[in-house]
Each structure stands twice: as C-alpha cells, then as structure tokens.
Amino acid sequence: MSNIPESTQIGNHAVIEDDVSIGEHVVIGHQTVILQGTRIGDHVTIGNNCVIGIQPAANQRMRKNSNVKNELIIEAGTKIGNLVSIYSGSEIEKNVFIGDHASIRENVSIAEASVIGRAAIIELNTKIGRNCTVQTLAYVTGDTILEDDVFIGPCVSMSNDKYMGAQSYSLKGPYIKRGAKIGNNASLLPGITIGMNTIVGAGAVVTKHAEDNTIVAGVPAKKINS
C-alpha cells in the first residue's frame, strides 16, 4: 500500500500505484500516473497527464544500465509541469522546476533550485548541479555533467557517441564547468569540456575543449576577443 496523507490533492482519474510515498501538501494533477517506487517530498506539485517513475526498457541494440535504482526521489518544493515523464532511478532535489513536456531519463540527478525548461530532454546517467538552467527544447545527451550555475540556452544539442554507432566507443557527453553559458542552438560534440565561466556563442559547433573564462563562437567554435 502507498502512504497518501490527507493533505494530498489528487486530480480526476489520477493513478497512484502501491509502494509510493507522498509527503504533506502534495498536489497531483488530473490523469497523472505515479508508478511504484516513487518517493515524493512535501509541497511538491505535479501537473496533469504526467507519468512519474517509469521503469527503463530497451531492445537488443540499446545499452542496458544494470546500476539503476528502483526508486525515483522527488524532494520537497519541486514543481513539475504538465505531460512530463520522469524515469525511476533518478533524484530530483529540493525546489527544482520542470516545465511542460520535459523528459528525464533514469540515473539522472538534478540538484537544488535548477530549472528544466519546456520540452527539454535529459538523457540517462547525467548529473546537473545547483542553480542550473536548461531552457526550452534543449537536448542534454546521456553521460553529461553540468556543474553548478550552468546556463543552457534554447535548442542547444549535445552528443555522446563520436562514431554514431558505427564502432565501439565509450559514451561520454560534454563536461560543462561551473558558471558556463551555452547560447541558443549551439552544438556540443562528445567528450569536450567547457571551461568555468566560459561563454559559447549562439549557433556554435564546439569540437574541442574550451578554456576557462573565454568566449568561443563559430563553426567550428574558436576563441574570440571579448
């Protein structure tokens, strides 16, 4: 059985499976599904038509992650929009905001007070630090690290497979250091590092590491004078 306090507000046709833990003063929208193994803290708001706590699935061509936990943890004060999907094995810390249509895969951690924008996609094995912003329609590939205070602009795209499946490769997304800012529609190639407080210009294609405290722009991206 699930633990559902009297203070919980549950919308029409919502489904809450067994083995779900819900804190005080939680709001769950209409037709939202909360799946087994989900742990929800106090004062969390979840919008309409969400699916929370999805178990990962794969076919023979997709990699399987055997280290994924069975629980999804959503900490106090987090707000989740409408039509959001979040997989089990992830942890969403306090006061995170997740916009409508966003998708967050398994084994993802999102630290306190970060913002995940409308229709953004966060792939598996990704770590997002405190006070980060991932804006509308951004694609954060699997195996990526964002340190604290990182800004990812709208429609930014990242990749983690150097050979696009043509040969064996250890998947590795970008490593984006504290305070870096990535402009609209920029593309980040696998395994690159974006330095601390570095700015990547809109539309740039970053193929190599970018040093701390620099500005890079262009195709391919190069250091420019500020």
- Span 177-196, mean pLDDT? 98
The end-to-end CA distance of the chain, in Å, is: 59
**Range 1-55+67-107: architecture per CATH:** 3 Solenoid (2.160)
Residue 69 pLDDT level (bands cut at 50, 70, 90): low
Q: What percent of the chain has pLDDT over 70?
A: 92
Quick count: other Cβ atoms within 10 Å of Cβ 188?
A: 30
Whether the full predicted model's pTM is greater than 0.85, yes or no, is yes
Six token digits for residue 202: 């809109």
Sign of CA dihedral 92, 142, 203, 210: positive
- Do 193 and 178 meet the contact criterion of CB atoms below 8 Å apart? no
Sign of CA dihedral 95, 131, 65, 48: positive
Please name the fold of domain 111-226.
UDP N-Acetylglucosamine Acyltransferase; domain 1 (2.160.10)
Domain positions in the chain are: 1-55+67-107, 111-226
For tokens 């992830």, what's the residue?
A: 90
Six token digits for residue 7: 């203070």
Question: Identical fold at 1-55+67-107 and 111-226?
Answer: yes
Give 98-140 pLDDT, tens digit per residue.
Answer: 999 999 999 999 999 999 999 999 999 999 999 999 999 999 9
